[in-house]
A = this chain, B = another copy of it.
Amino acid sequence: MNNGMNDRYTRGWQKLKEIDGDAGEKVIESLKDIAPDLGRYTIEFPFGDVYSREGLDLKSREIATVAALSAMGNATPQLKVHINAALNVGCKPDEIVEVIIQISVYAGFPAALNAATVAKSVFIERGII
């Protein structure tokens, strides 16, 4: 039995649920009939390996993720998941907005404006605004 892989999968699945909540589970679920192994890797590498690392707190990790996804501008579904995730791990709504404002400097105003639109939809869904 490949216990090493199972460890990563189990640890990753717990981390995914802790950080992304239901939204993360839905992503994995939606991959089942098209690319289940991509679902498994998503659990094992990002969550079982990377988010399980020490050396940087989860709040800072989500700030990094929201910044990266906002700057890239081509990953709207993931940005939505991770604005939720940032809130889940303790970021304040205002801190997320600050990250998005800062992206206007590095990736331009369209990237920041589009990320703000995603944040707005999340904040409304969660009753924050």
Q: What residues make up the interface of A, taking CB atoms closer than 8 Å to B?
A: 2-8, 27, 30-31, 33-35, 37-38, 41-42, 45-46, 49-51, 53, 55-56, 60-61, 63-75, 77-78, 94-95, 97-114, 116-117, 119-120, 123, 129
**CB neighbours of A35 from chain B (8 A):** 97, 100-101, 116, 119
State the main secondary structure of chain A at its contact with B.
Answer: helix
* Interface contacts beyond A64-B103, A77-B113: sample of 10 additional A-B pairs, CB < 8 Å, sorted by A: A2-B3, A34-B119, A37-B53, A45-B45, A60-B95, A60-B99, A65-B67, A69-B106, A75-B111, A106-B108
Nearest-CB distance from A7 to chain B (Å)?
A: 7
Q: CA A106 – CA B34 in complex, angstroms?
A: 20
